[in-house]
Structure 1
Amino acid sequence: MVDDHARLAQSVARVLRREGMAVDIAYDGTVALERTAEVDYDVVVLDRDLPGVHGDRVCHELTREPLRTRVLMLTAAGALADRVRGLTIGADDYLPKPFAYPELVARIRALGRRTQTALPPVLTHGDLTFDPAQRVASRGGTRIGLNPKELAVLEYLLGARGRVVSAEELLERVWDAATDPFTTTVKATMNRLRSKLGEPALIETVPRAGYRL
C-alpha cells in the first residue's frame, strides 16, 4: 500500500489485514521502490501523487520488467484522461478516490489471482473444500469457522498442492514486514487450524522444512 496520506494508508491496511492479506505500507515513492526491489509482492496499490518519486514513475519501474507484481492505481485523479494515463503507463487496474472498501478488496483479490498459477474456483483436498471468493471452508459438508489468517494459511497450503511451505514463506505471503521473523505466530496459527480442521489430520509438519497438506 503506497500513499502519503498516513491515515488512509493505515485504514486500508487494517481492512486488508482483516481479509487475511499481508500488507506493507510505504508513504513515498522512494520507499516503495526500495520495498518492491526486496519483496515479490502480488499487488501494489499505488497513489499517483507521491513525494520522493512520483507514482507514475514508480508504476513505470514496476511494469517495465516482466514481473508478476500487479499495480492498482488508487488516486483522487479520477478524470477519464487520468485513468487512461494510468493504464497506459502499465497499471493493471485503476480505482479513483473516494472508493468503497469492498470494491477495493474485490479488485485486489482479482489482481492477486492473476499473479498465481491458475487454480480452480473451489480448492479441494479430500473432503476439505475452500471457496476463495466466498472465504468459506468446509469439511465433509460442514462449514468450519476460521478467522482471516487461518483462512489465508489454508488457502496458501491448498494452492501449494502438496508442496512443502516453509514458515518463512508463510510469514512473507500471509503476514507482513512488521512481523517478527522469530515469532511463533505461524506455529500457533497452524496448531489452531489443525484443531479446527478435525480428524483425521490434514496438515503435516515436515521437520526443518515446513508444512504441507
Structure 2
Amino acid sequence: MAAADTNQKLATLEPIALRQFTDPGFVGPKIYLHPKDFEAKVDNYLRTKTPPLREGYSSFCYHLIVPNFAHLKASYLKIVPENEHLIRTAYDANSPEDLPVLTRYFPASAVKEMTGPAKFLDVILYTREEIHQENMARGMEHLNNASDAPWGIMRVKAQDVERELPMLPTTLIRNALGKGFGGSGVPLDVDRYKESVGFWMHHAAVR
C-alpha cells in the first residue's frame, strides 16, 4: 500500500466499529472515548509503526495490538462451573443488512465482578479497497465517500493476550458466505475453524 500523505488520516472508524462509541443499542463493550480521540491514538501508533501491524486472516486484514488505553473490560470470559449458568443466547447481526446468526454470551451486568480491565486492545483494520468492495456488494456504495484513509477500523476487542484471538466460528462461516451476506468472501479454512471451535468451546463473549 502506498504511503499516505502526512496530513491524511491513516485510519478512520467504519460504521460497524463506530457503533461501539455512539449506538446506545450496541450489545458489545462500549468505548467511552470520543471517536476522534480514539482515531488520533490509532493514527499515532500507525505513524510510528510501534507496535508493528500483524497480518490477519487475509491480505486485507491486519491487527494493531496495543495497551488498553480505552480502559475496556475484557470482551470474553472463560466458561467455568461457577458461571456457565449465566450464559445466554441470541440471534445477532452486525448490521440490519447482515444475516443473523446464533451467538452465546455472558451479560456484562451478570459477570461484572468476574471481569476487570483488559491488558490489550486488538484494533482490527481492513484496507480501504476491501471496505469499498464489501460496501458495493451490500448496496451501500454511499459509504465509500466517507473516508479516504488507507485503513478502516472494523472492530475493537479488549483482551488479556498480546495476539489475535480466534474468530468466532459463526464469523468464519459468515465470511465464507460472501460479501453479499455481510462476510468478506474468504473461503472457510478447516484448520482455522477447528482452532476457533477449540477456543470458543471454553469461552464466551461478554456484552
Instruction: Tell me the TM-score range normalised by the shorter chain.
Output: under 0.3
Which has the bigger relative contact order, CA under 8 A and spacing at least 6? Answer: 2
TM-score by length of structure 1 reads 0.24
Q: Larger C-alpha radius of gyration, 1 or 2?
A: 1
TM-score by length of structure 2 reads 0.25
- Looking at secondary structure, tell me which structure has more helix per residue: 1
